[in-house]
Structure 1
């Protein structure tokens, strides 16, 4: 499932391509025909994201709400370079102007909603590390939910009502970076470790936006951060990881075998020797 940095970048690109335009909105697949008719021809006022949720605001208090789920994609093509863009596959929703076409395929959610509905969705989500200055992104809100729960921290980090936008890769890697036991119950976790996790997410997710990859290994994090600070081009051809998808391999720090177990429906990866804190 795309994590928060992917949705943040997608919202940024949709905003750049369609803000101020009045696209023709259609549903080539047919499943979103009624919703598309409500949006077509209305001006796009902007696009934004929160965690794994994407919102496109149209004039007339109409919002498109999208959650990509496990297989969804939202691709933007520049017609000036690509020419006519044919419909390929099951396109749930298409935006089209004279300059851009955007095709949404396979989303878990694609719906036209009211501003009130958008507000209710935002209110139930946890703080988003990509928007640390947002009034809804106070890390203490997440901490209150964590300390009330006996669930393991590895499960709580996947709960979007605790923390918005973090998925399986970031949770595995950040828990390793901080040497935190992923099975430590939330109500027994020391607060300093939660604040360290929040700071890690605030640091790492913007690197994901910049590179379109999840960057967690120290050398790569340092290089990308320095390039961004210097205003240089940011590129990353290959992503490394400490534990993610390395089950059975040697830990890069201590040499123990990396373990894996399903937690909150996804394969968690960790080092039992290194990760004892919390």
Structure 2
């Protein structure tokens, strides 16, 4: 069984001491490749560096570059120029993690500055234009901003029906799933789908067509059951695949095969066992 982790922050300091061991465990669990999104310029640079370092073994790494919505006010003209340069790197397969996050600006006790919604929308529009120019797919972050996120994506897709991406850690619930799918986007499912009370996410897992399903850990965050409270890592991806298979009454191999084909198609990956997916 082969899997691809389509969203994991391996450049995070949480992996600094044992990254190679993390990749060895991933490979042993069947995770053949992973996509590392950047949310700041520093994260994007680090993602590209790791993708260069681990181009094949033990787990092939690819990078995505972007400015996270909470850091949208850092997207200056110079930053956008550097982002464009990074995005041209051959190991970069997407623009992301970009999007809208209306949760954090309203939190009185947050521990870091957070861009306000108007600045977030401006930064998203700029990065949508960048993705269109470079013909790269998107990795979209959408937290408590479903209406505005989907509206901006709908306008972007109208410019070219081949434009697409993934709604990472999909959280808009079953009620907006049809709208997201109508845009031609993929649905990223992560650790919370394994939680006992996550009935809405489990319904999304059932309703999402197999040809639109992606698997991700979002490590080091949101570990699946029974690893809640631990550092998340790609080796836990099979737990997510098994829970989705259980929800859909399908063999886990079917979930693994479909999600791997989808990741290769979306990001243009060419792994030895997935040629011509």
Scaled by the length of structure 2, the TM-score of the pair is 0.32
More helix by share: 2
More strand by share: 1
Choose 1 or 2 for highest CA Rg. 1
Q: Which has the higher contact order (CA 8 A, sep 6+)?
A: 2
